[in-house]
Amino acid sequence: MRAPRLVLATTLFILSVISALLLSSSAVRGTIPSLLSRLSTRFCSSATPASASQATLTSDMTDVKALQEKWRKNLDELPSTPEKIPVFFFGHGSPILETNSNNRGPGFDAVLAWGGPKGPLATFLKDFGPALLKKYQPKGIVVFSAHWETQTERLVTDYGDDNPLLMDYYGFDPEFYQLKFKSKGDSTLAKRVVELYKEAGQRARLTPKTENRGSDGRGFAGPGLDHGVFIPFRKMFGEEFTDIPIVQVSIDSSLSPEKNWALGKAVTKLREENILVLSGGLIIHNLRDFQSFAPQSAKPLHKEFDKAIIDAVSVADATERKKAMVNLTKHPGFRAAHPREDHFVPLYVAAGAGEEGDSKVIADIYGSETVAFGL
């Protein structure tokens, strides 16, 4: 901590002398004090002790207990309508939901605190899953994930009594590749999903266990529910969840808002068949800028985009809501939040499936919001 302060003191002293010599010049009278102020801010902020960072964490809308009170209230207020279940876009998080350890350096502390096992998303998911089961008692779950894209044709898992896992993440510690989530599929539900797509004029087919769907971080290609499903579902439903079948469907690799909206709309009838439709992604997802993942380290532009999404999904009129949501791709912060929008378009899938009816933000967790559609 001493080196930055020594540099600061020396720099300020030198510039103060220069300032005193040049104050007679009107052209520089305002320049030097301004420069001093900027340098002071820069060096002091870089030397801020950990306790000050923690103060920011709890003051910048990051108090987990306060957030939990709000989302529990919102979950309680959801209509208990098993005859027409709402659709949910949810923040699916990342593998760091499973770890308290930071091997990326001090700059990653805020991200780990926000997105790790003690952060608000992990806490919310533990409330979210049981609330959905209690409210709607679904006979099946159809889930879309940011981590499975196909071109022109929807693939629908048909994995039978044991859904395999695709650990499609790389470079993590060995324990991340030993995670378990036991669940089952259902051929009847999978065939129903394919049928609905064909009725909507869209191509779709089943994909069995014998067909690889992607690369696995354990060093092979394979089938399975990807980590955008099994990582959050472990928090939501526990490591063993075999009472209700789970079927996963691919999103459209064009990443077009309209096409992904349409693929959500095609399965809206499932809501009247006691099927819970979930679509997982992240409101903020920029792996080139890890600081963007936590509110206390994110840039103002990230926060502005996050707020713009909340505003758009909260529009009361369904037609105007869709227009506002599609226009989010033109927001100045869109590319700062999503260099590639694979984690963003699942929001459109959920909105399409719940196009008719109201919408509501259930959990206002920066970067990982959960939104209900079709209320």
Q: Which CATH number fits domain 53-373: 3.90.330.10, 3.40.1800.10, 3.40.830.10, 3.90.1170.10?
A: 3.40.830.10
Distance, in Å, from the CA atom of 24 to the CA atom of 10, rounded to the nearest integer, reads 23
Average pLDDT for the chain? 85
Residue 256, SS3 per DSSP: coil
Q: How confident is the model at residue 24 (pLDDT cuts 50, 70, 90)?
A: very low
Q: Whole-angstrom distance between the N-terminal and C-terminal Cα of the chain?
A: 53
Higher pLDDT pick, 102 / 170: 170
- What residues have CB less than 8 Å from 230, skipping those under 6 apart? 165, 179, 181, 183
User: Tokens 């791709």 appear where?
Assistant: 329
Reported as a pLDDT band with limits 50, 70 and 90, residue 20 is very low
Q: What does DSSP assign to residue 225?
A: B
Residue 51 has pLDDT above 80, yes or no: no
The single-letter DSSP state of residue 29 is: T
Gap between the Cα atoms of 82 and 101, Å rounded: 40
pLDDT at 14: 38
CB 127 within 8 A of CB 72: yes
Mean pLDDT along residues 331-336: 91
pTM of the model: 0.82
Counts of helices then strands in the chain (DSSP H, E): 13, 12
Q: What number is the average pLDDT over the span 81-89?
A: 93
For 202-219, the pLDDT digits (tens) are 999 999 999 999 999 999
